[in-house]
Amino acid sequence: MKTIDTYKTENADQAVELAAVLAERFKPGDVILLQGDLGSGKTFMVQQICRHWQVAEAVTSPTFTLIQHYQGRYPVIHMDLYRLESDAELDELGWEEFINEQIVAFIEWPERLMPWLATCYLLHIERRNNGNRVYTLSRKEPS
């Protein structure tokens, strides 16, 4: 992975501003992997990016449904792989059908899927003790 940018936010308003920047960067065909501890703001960032893309419905965490579909400026898939315990469960999910040139895919807890992706963004979110967050955006390209 090659680091592209690092961003720091001190409050939710700055995170919303960052989401606007990222919403302009991402486009259909992009796969964005979201890493960070529980409560770091992964779903919040997806919500804010989708808001900039005029997604009308409420964007919620797909922890129990595993996959959420949204339509705004772009079709969006939001996946959460936290509860998956094996590669077999990943295969049963049919993740490959959601990775294509028409869809923007956001994937939380992507560690199990990362080796299978040739190209993707990785947005790592680190929550600091003071509530600030550091976002590191990296890009994986085919070797």
Q: What's the CA dihedral at 24, 28, 29, 34 to 10 degrees?
A: 50
| Domains contained in the chain, number | 1
Rounded distance between C-alpha atoms, residue 13 and residue 9, angstroms: 8
Nearest alpha carbon to residue 3 among 133, 106, 140: 140
What is the pLDDT at residue 1?
A: 84
What is the pLDDT at residue 118?
A: 86
Instruction: Tell me if the pTM is above 0.85.
Output: yes
Segments forming the whole domain that contains residue 14 = 2-140
What is the pLDDT at residue 95?
A: 83
What is the pLDDT at residue 98?
A: 82
What is the pLDDT at residue 91?
A: 83
What is the pLDDT at residue 84?
A: 84
Q: Is beta strand 67-71 parallel, antiparallel or unpaired with respect to 75-80? A: antiparallel
Nearest alpha carbon to residue 109 among 90, 135, 127, 129: 90
CATH at residue 55: 3.40.50.300
Phi first, then psi, for residue 74 (nearest 5°) are -130, 155
Q: What angle do CA 34, 68, 50 make, to 5 degrees?
A: 65
Per-residue pLDDT of the chain (143 residues), as tens digits, is 899 999 999 999 999 999 999 999 999 999 999 999 988 999 999 999 999 999 999 999 887 788 999 999 999 999 999 888 888 888 888 888 888 899 999 999 998 888 888 899 999 999 988 889 999 999 998 87
